Amino acid sequence: MASDGSVDFTSGPIARKIAAFAFPLFLGNLFQQLYNAADTLIVGNFLGPEALAAVSSSGSLIFMMVGFFNGMAVGAGVVISRSFGSGDRDRLLRAVHTDIAFGALSGMALTAIAVVLTPHILRWISTPEDLLPISSSYFRIYAAGIFFSVMYNVLMGIMNALGDSRHPLFYLMISSAVNIVLDLLFIAVFGLGVGSAAAATMISQAVSSVLCLLRLMKGECGIKVRMRSVRIDGRSMKPILSFGLPSGLQNSIVGLANTVIQASVNAFPAAAIAGFGVYAKIEGFVLLPITSFSLALTTFVAQACGAGDPGRARRGAREGMAMNIVLAELLGALLFACAPFLVSLFSPDADVIAYGTRQARIEAFLYFLVAFSHGSAGILRGDGKPFVPMLTMLGAWCIFRVIFVRTILSVIHDIGVIYIAYPVTWTLSSIAFIICLRRTGWIGRGKGDGGMLPKRR
C-alpha cells in the first residue's frame, strides 16, 4: 500500500492486496449502511410503525433513482483503473474530470425531477393513501439531497479506482456520525417528524461528498483535480458510457424491479411493509462484504488488464471470489440466528418482528449465491464485458422475479411468495454466470485469456 493510502494491484501478493483494498470498502459501506439504517431505526422507535412503513416504502424507489448513476460511477472506475494500470496519465486526468462533470450535471437533473414528481412517483408504487402524506414529506426532502448522493458515489468511485479505499472510509465515518446525531436531535429532541430524518441524511451526504472533493483537489490521490478542468471530454465520455451504461442500466432495472415488488408488498398490512423494509436494512449489512469484494475484483481485474497481465487477473479473481463466498455464508448464518433480536432493534412491534424474522429464515443461508453473482459481475466488468452482468441481472433479478411474484401472488396471497422469489432468482443468475465464466475462460478449462487485453509486448 502506498503512502497516500492507494493500492497498486499490478504487482505483489494478490490475496493480501485484495483484502487490504476490500476491508476499508467494507467498513466504508458499513458506515454508509449505518447512516441509512439510522433513519429506519430512530423513526421506528420514536415515531411508530406507520412512520416506519412510510420510510421503508421509499427504499427501493430511492435505489432505482440513484442506482443508475452509481452504476455509471463503477463503469467510470473501470476506465480510470485501466488508465492507471497502463500509466497513461493524460487519459487518466481527462477521465476523472469528465466523470465529475457528468456526475454534477446528472445529480442536478435528478434532484429537480424527483422533487417535482414526488407525489406522482409515490402513487405509482401504490403507496397506501393513509401513508402518502408522511411518505411525501420524507421522500421530497430526501430527493432534494440526491445531488450529494450522486456526487459522493462519483468521487468515491474515482478514489477507489485509483486504489484508495481508506479515505472514503474516514469520510463515511464522519458522515455517519453527523447523520445519527442529527437524527436524534431532530426527532428525539425537537420532535420534528419523519421529514427531518431525510434532512439529516441529506446533510451528512453533503459532508462526505465535500470531503472527497477536497482531497482530490489537494492532489492527495496521485492526481490533482482542478475545477477549471471539470468538463465533458468526448474522448473520455465514450469509454465511460461504454463501461458505465450497462452497470447503470443494470442498477436502475434491478431498482425498477424492486420498486414493482415494493408495490406488491404495499398491498399487505403496514406491519408487513415495515417488516420488509426493516429486513432490507439488515440485509444491507450482510451484503456489505459481497459488494466490497465485488468492487475490489473489478478494480483488480481492470488494473491487471491495463498492465497486460491476464494470468494475474485470473488468479486474483479466484482468490477474491473464495473470500467473498465464505464471508457471505458466515454472515448469513449469523443473521439466521439473530434475526428476531436484530429486527426488534428497529421496531418493538411483535408483528413487524415476525414478518422480518420469517424473511430472514427463508433467505439467510443462501447468500453464497448472491456473493457468487456479484463477484462474477465484478470480474466481467473489470474484463471489459459490462453487458454480460447487465443482461444476466435483467433476466434473472428483474424480469423473472417480477413475473414469479405477480403470477404466484395471484394464486397465493402470502407475502412469503415475495421472500422466496429472491433465492430463486439468485440461483438462476448463478447458473447463468457459471456458463458465462466457463465460456470466457475464467473457470474450468476455457480457451483463451478470458477476453482480456493481450499481454504487454
**Residue 420: all three cell numbers together:** 422466496
What percent of the chain lies above the pLDDT cut of 90? 26
Q: Which residues contact 34 (CB under 8 A, 6 or more apart)?
A: 176, 180
DSSP state of 58: T
Residue 148: the pLDDT is 92
Please give the pLDDT value at position 301: 83
Any idea what DSSP says for residue 400?
I
The predicted structure's pLDDT at residue 48: 76
Percent of the chain clearing pLDDT 70 (strictly above): 89
The DSSP annotation for 294-310 comes to HHHHHHHHHHHHHTT-H
> pLDDT per residue over 297-317, tens digit each?
887 888 777 777 777 888 888
Q: With 90 as the cut, is the pLDDT of residue 253 above it? A: no
Tell me the pLDDT band of 210, cut-offs 50, 70 and 90: very high
Quote the mean pLDDT of the chain.
Answer: 82
Dist. CA 246–CA 257, nearest whole Å: 16
Q: What is the pTM of this model?
A: 0.66
| pLDDT-based confidence at residue 11 (cuts at 50, 70, 90) | low
